[in-house]
Amino acid sequence: MFLKILDYLRIAMVGLAFFFGYRIGFADGYNPIAQLHFMIPVIISAIAGISGVEGLVFGKQSAELKGYETGSNYQRQSAIALLSYAFIALFVWWVDWGIKAELTILFAFMFFFIFSAVNHAVDAVKRKNYKWQNINRPFITLLLLAGLIYPVVMALKDL
C-alpha cells in the first residue's frame, strides 16, 4: 500500500509542478525560462528521486508491483542512477547554473525516461505484463513530453 502512495505522490507532484510552473510562466507575459526553472527540479525529483528511493529501500516490493524479477543488481544500479538525476537537478537549481544546465539534466533524464517507457511497453507486449506499474510508464511519458515541449521549445528560442 505504501508503494501505491508513493506512485500517487509522484503523479501529484508532477501535476503540481505543471500547475505552478505554467502559472509562473504565464504570470507576466510568457517566461519559459522561469517556468522551467521551477518545473525541472520538481519533476525530476518527483519521478527520479522517489523512484530511486523506492528502488533502493523497497526494491523487492517495487519489482513485484511492476511484474519484474526481484533482487537484481541492475535494479539497485538503476535506483542509484535515478537518484543521481534527482540530486544533480536539485544541485543545478540550487547553485543557479542557469537554463542551459537545467535543460541538460532534463534532456538526460528524459532520454532515460523515454527508453524506460519503451522497455515497459515491450515488456507488456512480450510477456503480457499488464500490471499498472508497468503499463503506465509509456502513457505517463507521453503526457510528460506533451507538457514539456512548448516551454522547452520557447526557452530554446530565447537562448
What would the grid cell of residue 127 be? 510477456
* HSE, side-chain direction, 13 A CA sphere, residue 87: 8
Q: How many domains does the structure of the chain reveal?
A: 1
**Tell me, what's the pLDDT at 63?**
66
Query: What's this model's pTM, rounded to 2 decimal places?
Result: 0.91
Host domain of residue 85? 2-158
Q: Which residue do the cell numbers 510508464 mark?
A: 137
Positions of E strands within 49-118: none
- Give the residue among 41, 40, 46 at the shortest CA–CA distance from 10: 46
Binned average pLDDT, 10 residues per bin, the chain of 159 residues:
87 97 96 98 97 88 71 85 97 98 98 93 88 83 97 95
